[in-house]
Amino acid sequence: MKRVLQGNEQEDGGGTSAGSQETLKRPCKQRRENDLEEEGTRWECLPQEILLHIFQYLPLLDRAYASQVCRGWNQAFHMPELWRCFEFELNQPASSYLKATHPDLIKQIIKRHSNHLQYVSFKVDSSRESAEAACDILSQLVNCSLKTLGLISTARPSFMELPKSHFISALTVVFVNSKSLSSLKIDDTPVDDPSLKVLVANNSDTLKLLKMSSCPHVSPAGILCVADQCHGLRELALNYHLLSDELLIALSSEKHVHLEHLRIDVVSENPGQQFHTIKKSSWDAMVRHSPKFNLVMYFFLYEDEFGPFFRDEIPVTHLYFGRSVSKDVLGRVGLTCPRLVELVVCANGLRPLDEELIRIAQRCTQLSAIGLGECEVSCSAFVEFVKMCGDRLTQLSIMEEVLVPDHRYGLDDIHWEVSKHLGRVWFPDMMPTW
């Protein structure tokens, strides 16, 4: 027994035993923690402004996990600055593989952060249920003053499947309560003229951007009301049936700011549809008032429906043909579009576009981007086109099948000639890039 005790004493008192080392380590560790706490470098002691800066870089799910670390981080999670911008993703699991905002989170946002929301968008799938969920959320945003609102259908326009009254009622809640709405994107929705009047009555001084393509319940008079009252409007997107001489004159008035971007979708709903004509004098008024504005036009017409277009000069800057367009129409483009900057032709046919392309190079002196799909151009004409445009062609997207070898150039050596005139290496595309 004595021998055992002596052994234990020798072990305990023998200078650098394991037990004594642990005893020595504890005060050091405690001192380090105390020092860190005094210096304010412990994670739970980070200042709120630093936590806010860090949380702004985290995805929502990661912020939610971080909020469970401690009380301070949970408080940071609910800081108003983190909830000013939010995108509601509403998708049905049975019809979409996209992620969706959790219903519990939506309830929490409406309960605690609806008055903090300023920049809001809704991304919904093709289901009617998702569109209804978006309207239910909109109808509850009675305590917020939004600055931007976007309604985005990722597939077919699901908002169009809702009862018109239900959608208008929900949207009007936002229009009435948001007194400083500056950006509104409501493409493919059943918005109508009376709801636009509510928008103008409450947000005429602040509205700068309005995108409302494919809104069949809006009339030319409805969009004219917006242009007459919203003098700060800088960007506008709509279908051609809403475009009128009166609208262009209103956008060109002395009270109105310079327009920066006007997008027009020219879409044929039925073969043989008739389209009205816009006077050249109306376009001239727009150019005088806003000489630097971009006019973007998307054409989805059948070949026999282009009659009213490109007869007189038009200030289009970006021109896209989504369906087959005739050789004659492309010839008129070179004569009537002197401000053209970008041209995309998805299809034309089997007749070479040599003369039309050369004419565009001659007359459209600001052209800097072109894309050709199912068309035909001889290699010699294409080289001549690039030579005339030179290095101002910053984007040249030409399918390899477009180029037809001739007596001067073949497909194996055309890229050398084109690269020489562009001042950079160029090859034809294997697939469309626009």
- Does some domain include residue 92? yes
pLDDT at residue 41, rounded to an integer: 56
pLDDT at residue 111, rounded to an integer: 87
The residue behind tokens 């282009």 is: 306
pLDDT at residue 49, rounded to an integer: 82
The Cα 366–Cα 15 span in angstroms is 88
- Which structural domain, as residue segments, surrounds residue 133? 87-422
pLDDT at residue 5, rounded to an integer: 43
pLDDT at residue 145, rounded to an integer: 87
- Does some domain include residue 181? yes
- CATH code for position 91: 3.80.10.10
Q: Which residues pair with 265 in a beta bridge?
A: 239, 298
Do 74 and 181 belong to one domain?
A: no
Q: Which residues pair with 403 in a beta bridge?
A: 377
Long-range contacts of range 385-390, CB-CB < 8 Å, 24 or more positions apart? 385/357, 385/358, 385/360, 385/361, 386/417, 386/418, 386/421, 386/422, 387/421, 388/358, 388/361, 388/362, 389/361, 390/421, 390/422, 390/423
- CATH code for position 63: 1.20.1280.50
3-state SS of 382-415 is HHHHHHHHHHHCCEEEEEHHHEECCCCCCCCCHH
Task: Say which residues have a Cβ less than 8 Å from residue 26's Cβ, sequence separation at least 6.
Answer: none
The residue behind tokens 């971007």 is: 261
Do 265 and 367 belong to one domain?
A: yes
Q: Splitting the chain (434 residues) into consecutive groups of 10 residues, what average pLDDT does each group show?
A: 45 47 48 50 74 84 84 84 89 68 86 89 91 94 90 86 94 92 96 96 96 95 96 96 96 95 92 88 97 97 91 96 92 96 88 93 95 92 94 91 89 88 88 59
Do 70 and 177 belong to one domain?
A: no
Q: Where are the alpha helices (DSSP H) in 252-350?
A: 280-289, 327-336
User: Among 82, 102, 134, where does a domain finish?
Assistant: 82
Do 292 and 377 belong to one domain?
A: yes
Give the number of domains in the chain: 2
